Structure 1
Amino acid sequence: MPFTGGDETGVEVRILLVEDDRRVAAALSSALTRRGYEVEHAAGVSAALSAAPSDLVLLDLNLPDGDGVDLCRELRRRSGSLGIIVVTARGEERDRVVGLRLGADDYVVKPFSMAELQARIEAVLRRATQVRPERNLICAGPLRVDVSARTVSVDGREVALTRKEFDILFSLARQPGVAVPRDRILLDVWGTTWADGHTVEVHVASLRGKLGDARLVETVRGVGYRLRAE
């Protein structure tokens, strides 16, 4: 779920996946990529510390070249706004307490479902944006979305949207040019994936009409919708 920020075309949310089991890493990377994230895999502590900057870290604690707890502490020392979710088989209460005290935003015990992980990622990223005031303006082609003011303009013309319409646009605008699944939009806007099959379609149709250019929000057959990036 790319959030806002960076350049004028928007920037993808980058996830650093720190996981030594390559089969688990491959499966998670694939699932996250399908959901529109940019994923970098690090198989250990040293690789994680030398990885490119990211918006969120999924951190296994059992690593071959060091303790994930120490890595969590170092990552938090480097950045107070970085989202960190511990994803590990260590399910004891003391492990959870230590991880959270060292700076993790959340703690997920294996095995878990992608729906659960997705919801936790969403929640952590939402909290992270609250301490990133520079990431309040999303720009994609003629579209400008001011997240703080909840205002939208197209070619300088202000567009009045309902709360749901704005939230749908925000869900798409966080990753311009990337197909966003209907379930992801439902989770972003309604907080659930259980809804009438036409709920999203009806609101998207209204959103397109208000934007004045139906081509800005493209339908991706069998997947969901995509905001045109240029």
Structure 2
Amino acid sequence: MIVEDDPTVLTVVGDYLRAAGYPVAQFADGDAARIALSADVPDVLVLDRMLPGVSGDELCREVRASAPQVAIIMLTALDSVDERINGLEYGADDYVAKPFALRELQLRIDATIRRARGATTSVSPFAVGPFRVDPARRRIWLDDHEISLTTREYELFLFFLQNPERIHSRDEILREVWGWSFGEASTVTVHVRRLREKIEPEPRFPRHLLTEWGAGYRFTVQESE
């Protein structure tokens, strides 16, 4: 689904993605998109932040709360680092600034769909410390409680669970989880912060998802003394 108020961008992106084989629904304002989303949830939502009616930010928050499995890609002219971080903190998985290459957008959508549908289905259920994982169902539990994760949060946490006690740089995480050979490091920072809010008793003082200053992040089940 594409939600974009610029008619040229909406038409060009929609036609390009259809030619690439994707079924596409298009909407020019947030109100129409909100109604459509209440009836049919897409795999990927390409969402402009500045929309008439319901804003893209508000629509992002609503979709993230009701359908965490939807991958949300913000598509916007607001391209400063602070604006990118704001968009990610509203719940977006990815952020593409205008002007952009159609091929880049398609490759990011391709990577999102590929990882969501086939990357982990062959992995058997496993446990790491208090966390239990069912990759085929894309579900993770902490003790007896299921953790509600977005698509990207799940993929990020799965990566850490499968590679405990190793330090991973932000560039490595972007490459292995997002499938990018380059990108904005703040994307990883925001997602790690969101993940800590869901798995840590006190996110400001994490026990499991640790920052290794100057190097990256490390996941551990050993609680620090």
Please report the TM-score for the alignment, with normalisation by the length of structure 1: 0.49
Greater RCO, CA 8 A, separation 6+: 1
**Greater share of strand:** 1
Please report the TM-score for the alignment, with normalisation by the length of structure 2: 0.50
